Structure 1
């Protein structure tokens, strides 16, 4: 991967927040702090969809978004990250997912719907 290619990361959130992100994008301090009381200046991201789904379930919500972001917009998650650098965080030992934060604005096009964590079966 070259430095210019966007990275694909994942974000667990509610349906309402997912719609807002996909309509308006995200900017530091503009959004709410989220279900786990994170800092509004960060958009919390992870390297695996399974980990994003876990975060969504912990917040009692069920949406996972795929997020395309430039490496220059990322920092290691100050609460849950373990690496000193983005590269270390992206390559956590033992297969653990990396935890990162976005620190600058993202356009609506950066977000796409990936899945619901607990889909409701259709009623027939």
Structure 2
């Protein structure tokens, strides 16, 4: 009986270790847009004269201005993306994936910067 208990406990511990080591460690990226924003969002990374993004635990917060253009000193990191409209009271409304598209990034060059862009709106 003790042998089976030891084997079961060992399997559970190994399973837990496997789960912890394979969990997605990439940060979540939350883009906060002005209410009813439509157009291209452009984030330029590696800009030393600009402030870093706000980070809450394992989440980066992007406060996108009305122009749609944001510059940050952060380096671009991969991870899941969520996009929200923010009203005047600070309330967030999630933008469905159907309303943002064309997510792309390019980088390198002489200035060693990376730019990420995507479009908010409908196909119409």
Computing the radius of gyration from Cα coordinates, the structure with the larger value is 2
Q: Give me the TM-score of the superposition, normalised by structure 2.
A: 0.29
Q: Give me the TM-score of the superposition, normalised by structure 1.
A: 0.29
Question: If each structure's helix is expressed as a fraction of its own residues, which one has the higher value?
Answer: 1
Question: If each structure's strand is expressed as a fraction of its own residues, which one has the higher value?
Answer: 2
Which gives a bigger RCO, structure 1 or 2 (Cα 8 Å, sep 6+)? 1
